[in-house]
Amino acid sequence: MPQKNASGLEGIMAGETALSTVGKEGLDLTYRGYSIRDLAAAASFEEVIYLLLYGSLPARAELDRYRSLLITLRDLPPPLRVILEQLPPTANPVDVLRTGCSALGTLEPEGQDRDAHAIANRLCASFPSMLLYWFHFHRNGRRIETRAEAHPTVADHFLYLLRGEPPSALHARTLDAALILHAEHEFNASTFACRVIISTLSDFYSAVTGGIGALRGPLHGGADEGAMKLLERFSSPDEAEAGVRKMLEKKEKVMGFGHRVYKDGDPRAPIIKGLAGQLAEEAGDRTLFPIAERIESLVFSEKGLYPNIDFYSAVAYHFLGIPTFLFTPLFVISRTSGWAAHILEQRAHNRLIRPLAVYTGPAPRPFPSMEERS
Ligand code: COA
């Protein structure tokens, strides 16, 4: 019996995947062999979803058909709208998506009428609708029309539903690239949670619901919101340096820094930083971006830690006018594509995921009667 305890499963090969290369010696981060840099520069998020779900990049006509399909899947069934209306306005929006996913699993269950690909497409298309339907109903008392056919991409659709007006080309392109960068990342905590759930032969919705629950935490998907809250505390780079220095002295974690796998830098971070920089320039920003850069150099010089994808995603989303509490739900919207691809892959080569634990409890002891217990 193996007794070695790999805390946090660090360094453990827990299975195989053909979907992405993360932290492999000499290899870039790739999705099905394509570099993340090429994908972020030249692909659209819908091409990436298609690539992850179907194994190859779509040809022009396939992409057009796929986008049209996703548009038809944006509508929310009436009972789901009622559920979203019943949720409190104070709910965590990630919980709204988690609940929406679970509810859709009862309204449109997996089975003869609906296979895994159909559900994957349905969730990718309808998560922005669920989130922003709930948001506008509670914020503005409006029941929004979620199909918005004139906005064919997921990024356009999201920004249009959020703001009620079409986004600029730069804004749509930036969100598109951010969605691509967040789509897939091997055996991260939420994806692994999905794989554990599906390995029991459970259904697709249960796996995605579990993935959302895992992503919600600040050590994973919630880090971008933590990074934004940190950035907003300061009004100048000097103030930020002093504040973060104090945090490091107190051994507090700086959200948006460090990574379990990437010890020499997250390859997604410079890409999202470049995009955030363009948005900062467009906005004429002289404060937030310089604050972020000062924190970056301080955390590196003091701790040798690089920013991960979440740090400059927070800056980019801020300049896109996205409220901070919608950052993590956006991550859900993107990562659903990766989760779905892993669910399909796990099912295709399934074996129940059931590791062992090193026992640290009491030695065997006699069961005491009620009188013997004090
Ligand atoms: N800020 C300050 N110190 C950090 C840090 C951060 N963001 N991330 C790691 N460290 C320090 C730890 O305090 C620890 O220091 P010590 O050895 O002096 O105790 C050391 O680096 C190792 O950290 P640890 O938490 O054990 O690494 P991990 O591999 O378990 O954690 C993360 C990886 C991502 C969970 C961790 O870096 C973190 O919590 N980052 C902040 C949250 C975040 O941005 N998450 C998004 C990831 S994409």
Digit-by-digit pLDDT tens for the chain (374 residues) are 445 678 899 999 999 999 999 988 888 899 999 999 999 999 999 999 999 999 999 999 999 999 999 999 999 999 999 999 999 999 999 999 999 999 999 999 999 889 999 999 999 999 999 999 999 999 999 999 999 999 999 999 999 999 999 999 999 999 999 999 999 999 999 999 999 999 999 999 999 999 999 999 999 999 999 999 999 999 999 999 999 999 999 999 999 999 999 999 999 999 999 999 999 999 999 999 999 999 999 999 999 999 999 999 999 999 999 999 999 999 999 999 999 999 999 999 999 999 999 999 999 999 999 999 98
What confidence score (pLDDT) does residue 27 get? 84
Judge whether 44 lies within some domain: yes
Ligand 1 pocket check for 259: Cβ under 6 Å: yes
Same structural domain, 146 and 294: no
Ligand 1 pocket check for 257: Cβ under 6 Å: yes
Q: Give the single-character DSSP code of 168.
A: P
Ligand 1 pocket check for 215: Cβ under 6 Å: no
- 257 C-alpha to ligand 1 centroid (Å): 7
CATH (domain of 298): 1.10.230.10
- 185 C-alpha to ligand 1 centroid (Å): 18
Tokens 């069961």 sit on residue: 367
- 350-370 pLDDT, tens digit per residue, is 999 999 999 999 999 999 999
- 259 C-alpha to ligand 1 centroid (Å): 7
Tokens 């990630």 sit on residue: 94
Same structural domain, 188 and 39: yes
Same structural domain, 191 and 147: yes
Sign of CA dihedral 131, 177, 210, 77: positive
Task: State which residues form the domain around 283.
Answer: 223-319
Q: List residues with catalytic annotation.
A: 220, 259, 310
Same structural domain, 301 and 338: no
Same structural domain, 38 and 68: yes
Tell me which of 301, 319, 337 is where a domain ends.
Answer: 319
Task: Identify the residue whose C-alpha is closest to ligand 1 atom 46.
Answer: 220
Judge whether 334 lies within some domain: yes
Closest CA to 84 of 109, 71, 103, 110: 103
Ligand 1 pocket check for 217: Cβ under 6 Å: no
Same structural domain, 248 and 202: no
Ligand 1 pocket check for 154: Cβ under 6 Å: no
Judge whether 12 lies within some domain: no
Same structural domain, 193 and 256: no
Same structural domain, 168 and 283: no
Q: To test ligand 1's pocket by mutation, which of 252, 257, 311, 312 has the most ligand atoms within 8 angstroms of CB?
A: 257
Same structural domain, 104 and 198: yes
Backbone angles phi, psi at 307, to 5 degrees: -70, 145
Report the nearest atom of ligand 1 relative to the CA of 8.
30
CATH (domain of 113): 1.10.580.10
Judge whether 374 lies within some domain: no
Task: Identify the residue whose C-alpha is closest to ligand 1 atom 28.
Answer: 260
What confidence score (pLDDT) does residue 5 get? 75
Supply the DSSP string of 253-264, one letter for each residue.
--TTB--SS-SS
What confidence score (pLDDT) does residue 359 get? 94
Same structural domain, 98 and 233: no
Sign of CA dihedral 11, 23, 280, 292: positive
Judge whether 310 lies within some domain: yes
3 state SS of 21: strand
Inter-axis angle of helices 45-54 and 169-182, nearest 10: 20
Tokens 């993107």 sit on residue: 334
Same structural domain, 188 and 304: no
β-strand partners of 114: 111
- 191 C-alpha to ligand 1 centroid (Å): 19
Q: To test ligand 1's pocket by mutation, which of 7, 259, 295, 310 has the most ligand atoms within 8 angstroms of CB?
A: 259
Closest CA to 332 of 136, 131, 146, 162: 131
What confidence score (pLDDT) does residue 144 get? 97
251 burial (CB, 10 Å; 0-12 / 13-18 / 19+) is: exposed
What confidence score (pLDDT) does residue 4 get? 65
Alpha helices by DSSP H, the chain: 36-42, 45-54, 60-72, 78-86, 93-107, 116-140, 154-163, 169-182, 189-198, 204-215, 223-232, 237-249, 268-282, 288-303, 309-319, 327-348
3 state SS of 146: coil
Judge whether 357 lies within some domain: no
Judge whether 371 lies within some domain: no
β-strand partners of 21: 30
What's the domain count of the chain?
2
Judge whether 369 lies within some domain: no
- 253 C-alpha to ligand 1 centroid (Å): 7
3 state SS of 9: helix
- 268 C-alpha to ligand 1 centroid (Å): 17
Same structural domain, 104 and 165: yes
